[in-house]
Amino acid sequence: MQRPAELGDRSLFPRLEADVYAAHAAISPPSSRVEQAVADFMREQAAKGAGAFMRWKEAREALRPRLGALIGAPGCDVAFTGNTTQGITAIAVCLPWRRGERVVLCRGEFPTNVTPWLQAARAHDLQPVWVDAPDPLRPVGDFLDRLEQALRGGARLVALSAVAFQTGMRLPLGELAALCHAHGAELFIDAIQAVGAVPIDVVADGVDYLAAGSHKWLMGLDGCGLLYVAPERAAALRPLMAGWLSHEAGGLDFLGRGAGHLRYDRPIRQRADLFESGMANAIGLIALGAAIEPLEALGTATIFGHVDRYNGALSEGLVARGFRTLRAASVGARAGILGVLPPGDVELIALHAALGRAGVVTSTPDGVLRFAPHWPNAHDEVPRVLDAVDAAVAELRAATSA
């Protein structure tokens, strides 16, 4: 019997070696619940082979509405994918583009939410339009004003991240969607740095498409993700990435009902799950089902409050030591990430390595020292992190002056 998850309690991660693991925005380590779920699946698959398929298929289907609940969507509008990129690519390929249409992209965005749109632009002669990334130290209205300027020229789609991967700045999805729709554009959100870390409600906010992966804040394994498509948008997609499992009910009948059921003319589903075109990543989905149990029990809003207090104390301590914080002033513009820049005489990559040697695991995307704690991180870790920073900075300064 697994003990219930508690904020600041990492007992579900007995194998975790780091003294402080603050890299959940990169890859989350799997919990003992995940390990157990994967072991159970593998044991039964090894024993029964195809005989285990239906039971585990039912377990995966039960996951769909649970993922929907984490983003405020009905389960029927959620598809399982291999990763965030696969979800974005699916929409980029299957939208019925018209030559010359404009796609609004963000400078400083993670390439996942840029490359598929640029490929679509090349294939369909679209016009990419760029806006500068939001500044976490400026009011979000500045970014919305820049976006509206881009939209005044017309656009088919706007592709943005819910949370910036470097700074942790969170965008107001409802305001974004309203602005896009007022100018006739659709909104695609990369939410890999948001789902599991902050509350999301795609239906209330009017988001058209959202993709995320399981290996960060959802705390699952690599190679698994989700795609939300608003039902009115799904109906307009061209099913160019459909496969044998994309057909409506009855597509599996030829495997178990005898002769005469093999057909190719069954309609393709007009839902997000049309992209579930072949066999799923069974292990990844079973792991994800176990991984999100603590998120469901604790609640995303509670987790965000816990992490935000942790990051607030850490940010204050780092600023006192000469670091520059990229933490937004407004609570509503924050997520789980704390991005900071070290003092000018301290080299970032060397500092990151020194912290790692001291047992404090961070990451360094795009020249930023990124701390990303999650619900298992206790607030009493903050003084240990600051002590490690002090020791690392002193070591690096001594080496420079020697």
pLDDT at residue 191, rounded to an integer: 98
Percent of the chain at pLDDT exceeding 70: 99
pLDDT at residue 254, rounded to an integer: 83
Q: Identical fold at 20-29+299-401 and 40-294?
A: no
pLDDT at residue 298, rounded to an integer: 98
pLDDT of 332 strictly over 90: yes
Residue 193, both tokens: 């740095």
**Per-domain residue ranges of the chain:** 20-29+299-401, 40-294
CATH of domain 40-294: 3.40.640.10
Between 313 and 55, whose confidence is greater?
A: 313
Cβ atoms of residues 311 and 122 within 8 Å: no
Helices 32-48 and 282-291 meet at what angle, rounded to 10? Answer: 150
pLDDT at residue 139, rounded to an integer: 95
pLDDT at residue 33, rounded to an integer: 96
pLDDT at residue 57, rounded to an integer: 81
Q: What is the mean pLDDT of residues 96-109?
A: 97
pLDDT of 150 strictly over 90: yes
pLDDT of 279 strictly over 90: no
Cβ atoms of residues 186 and 213 within 8 Å: no
Residue 377, both tokens: 């991180």
pLDDT of 251 strictly over 80: no
Residue 391, both tokens: 């020791």
Q: Tokens 């994309």 — which residue?
A: 246
Q: How confident is the model at residue 179 (pLDDT cuts 50, 70, 90)?
A: very high
Q: Which fold has domain 20-29+299-401?
A: Aspartate Aminotransferase, domain 1 (3.90.1150)
Q: Using alpha carbons, select from 236, 176, 179, 230 the residue that is nearest to residue 203.
A: 230
Q: What is the mean pLDDT of residues 245-262?
A: 82
Model pTM above 0.85: yes
HSE value, Cβ hemisphere, 13 Å, CA-based, for 117: 27
pLDDT of 58 strictly over 90: no
pLDDT of 253 strictly over 90: no
HSE value, Cβ hemisphere, 13 Å, CA-based, for 242: 20
Please state, in angstroms and rounded to a whole number, the distance separating the CA atoms of residues 169 and 164. Answer: 5
pLDDT of 8 strictly over 80: yes
Q: How confident is the model at residue 4 (pLDDT cuts 50, 70, 90)?
A: confident
pLDDT at residue 1, rounded to an integer: 59
Please state, in angstroms and rounded to a whole number, the distance separating the CA atoms of residues 73 and 132. Answer: 30
Torsion sign (Cα): 120, 123, 125, 130: positive
pLDDT of 353 strictly over 90: yes
